[in-house]
């Protein structure tokens, strides 16, 4: 029986170890390409198109009907058009980047608390001690409590922080020590650091708006590792000017990248990173592991891990 042909949108640093683990070659495609070889049965799919534009791409007339399973390389599905997600069995990469993103969030919170890199000195004239804040004893708010939120909550609790969360589900908190709240306003009023880890949906669109900032604890640090659409940019700038917001660490914006001259680039209380919190060698390894596990399940006729209904 012939083995299913696998095509991949990913880079060589993923494809090479995958081939070594499988003991057979895979077909390598440009990132986001819809030009899929006719013999492809399984597709490892990056977001298609450029940036968020892929979600509105029309279905090509010759879109392959022979693809039976698509393994997304992201946990979110909002960057894919609806027809793409109906093309075949779909499984997501939920959880593979959770620890890497959680570490990014902790690094951002520690950096703001310790005022890094401004704390470092380069000469004796700067040798003046000053007090800094601590993550220990602070309150970390989570908008969303999926795989990333749970990984971050576990690490934050280990550092002695309090964790409060707002989630869509009415189920109890999955971790002891995490307190659930009932509204965005309550979450912002309690939090020293607010981390956005919720998906982009109509209900979360610009959820961090002027009304939410009016409830915020003064000086709140916003960390966005979800989607830029969750934040009202003008409201964030106004909150920074008024002191309701103390700092913002943004790994994602809308659009990506922001146009030249956007005030976020030069703002003294905003740090931007180019959507890199999920990118690590650990994430790559865990994605390889997950795909190989799912491939075994696919070939034996079982349900896939994190398969969409």
Is-contact 98 151, C-beta < 8 A? yes
Among 135, 178, 181, 133, residue whose Cα is nearest residue 154: 178
4: which DSSP letter?
A: P
In the annotation, is 256 catalytic? yes
Residue from 19, 186, 256, 307 carrying the catalytic annotation: 256
Among 35, 33, 39, 47, residue whose Cα is nearest residue 6: 39
Residue from 99, 193, 227, 284 carrying the catalytic annotation: 227
Q: To which residue do tokens 């693809």 refer? A: 67
In the annotation, is 275 catalytic? yes
Is-contact 255 228, C-beta < 8 A? yes
In the annotation, is 262 catalytic? no
Is-contact 309 90, C-beta < 8 A? no
Structure tokens given for 217: 């604890």
**How many Å apart are CA 308 and CA 235, to the nearest integer?**
35
Among 43, 33, 37, residue whose Cα is nearest residue 88: 43
- Can you tell me whether residue 155 is helix, strand or coil? helix
Residue from 55, 94, 275, 297 carrying the catalytic annotation: 275
What residues are labeled active site? Answer: 227, 256, 275
């Amino acid at each position: 029986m012939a083995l299913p042909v696998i095509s991949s949108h990913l880079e060589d640093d993923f494809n090479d170890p995958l081939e070594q683990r499988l003991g057979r070659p895979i077909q390598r495609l440009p990132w986001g390409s819809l030009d899929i070889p006719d013999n492809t049965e399984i597709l490892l799919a990056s977001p298609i198109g450029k940036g968020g534009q892929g979600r509105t791409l029309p279905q090509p007339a010759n879109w392959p009907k022979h693809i039976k399973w698509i393994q997304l390389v992201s946990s979110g599905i909002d960057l894919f058009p609806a027809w793409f997600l109906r093309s075949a069995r779909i499984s997501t990469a939920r959880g593979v980047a959770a620890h890497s993103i959680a570490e990014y969030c902790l690094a951002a919170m520690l950096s703001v608390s310790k005022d890094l890199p401004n704390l470092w000195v380069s000469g004796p004239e700067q040798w003046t001690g000053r007090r800094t804040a601590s993550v220990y004893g602070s309150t970390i708010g989570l908008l969303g409590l999926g795989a990333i939120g749970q990984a971050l909550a576990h690490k934050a609790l280990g550092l002695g922080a309090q964790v409060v969360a707002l989630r869509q589900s009415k189920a109890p908190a999955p971790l002891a020590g995490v307190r659930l709240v009932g509204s965005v306003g309550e979450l912002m009023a309690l939090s020293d650091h607010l981390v956005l880890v919720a998906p982009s949906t109509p209900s979360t669109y610009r959820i961090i708006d002027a009304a939410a900032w009016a409830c915020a604890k003064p000086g709140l640090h916003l960390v966005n590792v979800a989607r830029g659409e969750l934040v009202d940019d003008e409201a964030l700038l106004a909150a920074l000017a008024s002191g309701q917001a103390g700092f913002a660490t943004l790994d994602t914006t809308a659009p990506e990248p922001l146009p030249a001259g956007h005030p976020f680039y030069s703002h003294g209380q905003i740090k931007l990173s180019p959507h890199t919190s999920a990118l690590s060698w650990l994430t790559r390894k865990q994605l390889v592991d997950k795909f190989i596990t799912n491939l075994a399940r696919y070939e034996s006729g079982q349900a896939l891990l994190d398969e969409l209904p």
